[in-house]
Structures are given as C-alpha cells and as structure tokens.
A and B are shown apart, each in its own frame.
Chain A
Amino acid sequence: MVTQEAAALLRAAANGDAQAWSGLVRRFSGLVWSVARGHGLSQADAEDVYQTTWLRLTQHLERIKEPDRIAGWLAATARNESLRVIRSGLRVSPVENLEPALEPQGSPEEEAVQAESARQARWRAARLWEAFEELSERCKQLLRVLSAPTPPSYAEVAEVFDMPVGSIGPTRARCLARLRALLADRGITSGSERS
C-alpha cells in the first residue's frame, strides 16, 4: 500500500534516515505545492509555504500520531500556512505574471516536427488550464489537492477543508461539471462526449 510505504519512510526519517526523508519530499512535493498554488498564492509566497511545511515536518517527525495519514498532515499544514500568509497581508506580492507556459515555445520549424498528437495534447492541456483558472476558489483548492500526484484520502481531504467526508465526492463532481462547462465554452469536449 502506498500509504504504508509513506508511513515507513516517515518512521525511517524520524530515526535519522536522510534517504527516507528525501523520498518523502520527492513523493509529496507535488501535493504540498498544489495546495499552496491552489490557494492562489504567488510563486514567491507558495515557495515560502512549501519550505515552511517541510521545515515544520522536520520538527514533528517523531510527533506525527498517524504516520499513514502523512499526506493529510502535509496538505493541512500547507493549507493553514497558505491561509495565514494570505490573511497576515504583511507581504505585498507582485501580481503574478500570467505567462503562457504552455504555448508553443520552439521555432515554427521545430513545432512542425513535433508529433501532431503531442502538439494537440499540449494545446488541450493549455486550454484545460485556462478553464481551470476560471473556477471558484473552493473548486481550485479542492481539485488541485485531488489531482495532486499523491493525493490524500477523501477522509483526510475532509479534515483538511473541514468538510463532511460525504460532501467531498459531490463537490468534486460539481467542480468537474463546471470545468466541463468552461471547456465547452472553448469548444472542447471531454470524457465520453469526445469521439
């Protein structure tokens, strides 16, 4: 089980195993980053929250009560820190540069040689990301956690967002339906509607 592996890494790291620590960081980096960015933090603020989350964990390695729920602990810590950075309002972050990170970057010739399917996939991902950015704050926060490389369980997500566990599935479905509608606005279909 994935969670058991993570729990074993946590215990090993608590006992001084630096390799296990690296393993933990690599495994859950995407999750911690997704939580911070899902809360709309700038790159700089998200980097601070990311670092603070891992520094916090170094202090709590021996104190985590449920090692198999480490994903939930990390997500909750990153969320709390994100909210504090937002609420403290001490930092004036520059407005995010909305760089079109997914636009073709090569020369026309290079682009031309790229496989057509890869190009289409990139185009589609870029449109998907645009649509995602238009979702409500709540949907962005939730979907980024649920689509992270190593997402926490629904029970953990419920704790992180202080929502009843039974509402996670329906909220996810509503947010995804909204995302589909935003994609449809762009003339893009998804799922089984796609031929």
Chain B
Amino acid sequence: MDDDDDELIGELSQAAELADPVPPYLVDAGIAAYTFRTIDAELAALVFDSAAAGSDQLVRSERPARMLSFETADLSIELEIIPQGEIIHLVGQILPPAVVQIDVRQPDLVSTGSTDGLGRFSLILPTPGPFQLSLPYAAAHGGAMVTEWISV
C-alpha cells in the first residue's frame, strides 16, 4: 500500500508539472531577487499584520484596509494599506517621529517620498505586487533600514 501511495505521489508530481508548471519567467524573477538584496540595511521585523492567521481584526470588515507594524530596536513603522479603486495607498507613521526619506521598493522600481514632522507618510504603491519600505538614513548607525517584503 505504501508503495502504491508513493507511486501515486509520483504521478501527481508529474501531473502538476504538466498542468500547473512554474512559469519560466517567474524563475528568472526569483533569481533576479538576489540583486535587490540590501546587505547592510537593518531589517525591521514584521510584528503585526491584520491579515495574519490568528488576527481576526479587520478581516472582511467594512473598511478593506490592512494594517501592519514593523520594528527595529529603536524605530517602529505603522503602515496601513488602503486600496481605493485601482490605486493602493500606503499611509502610516514612523515612531519616534522624524522627517526622513522613505522609499517604496519594488522589484522593478523605487519611488521616493518623505515623512512629515510627525513622522507621517502617505505614499502610493506604483504597481500591485511585492514591496518593502526603505528608510535610507534611518537606522541607528545612520544607514538604511528596510522592512520585510510584503505582498499586496
């Protein structure tokens, strides 16, 4: 019976390769991801995501926003992802507040913005898809800080 099961798994593997293969351009995109690596940047960990399992907040609520929090030892970023028609707004605040450059990094482009005196920012996600926020001069040592990548 176990051998039969292994055989069926093998058949399933072949069927998946025929019916639902990884698109070749996607493999190239995965390989290209390496070039977006930010070696010296400090990583702000994702500490809250309203869309994460176990968080029942806001799911399918009247306002279709997704809320996330990122943290390093000395900085936190609150982010709200708000779709409005075709446009996806990225609205949030860094704490403690500071006026700093804040970029939206995507695999094919980077768009630049800035926070205000209260650390607030309002950006637009140029294209739906994976992105990370980057604060080029906000790390404790004055270097770059980036958030985890997020899919929208």
Contacts and interface: CB of A to CB of B under 8 A. Distances in A.
Between A47, A101, A122, the greatest number of chain B beta carbons within 10 A of the residue's beta carbon is seen for A47
Contact of B64 (A22, A45, A89): A89
Interface string A100-141: 011000000000000000000010111011001000000000
Nearest to A62: B39
A160 to B, nearest CB: 12
B83 A90 contact: yes
A80 B3 CA distance: 32
B49 interface: yes
A34 B15 CA distance: 12
Given A25-B31, A51-B107, 18 more contacts: A30-B22, A32-B30, A47-B23, A48-B130, A51-B129, A55-B149, A56-B148, A56-B149, A80-B52, A83-B51, A85-B51, A88-B59, A88-B66, A126-B15, A128-B15, A143-B9, A143-B12, A173-B1
27 contacts: A22-B31, A26-B31, A33-B26, A48-B129, A50-B22, A51-B29, A54-B29, A54-B33, A55-B107, A56-B148, A58-B34, A59-B149, A80-B52, A81-B151, A87-B51, A87-B52, A90-B64, A91-B152, A124-B11, A143-B12, A147-B9, A147-B13, A173-B5, A179-B8, A190-B7, A191-B4, A191-B5
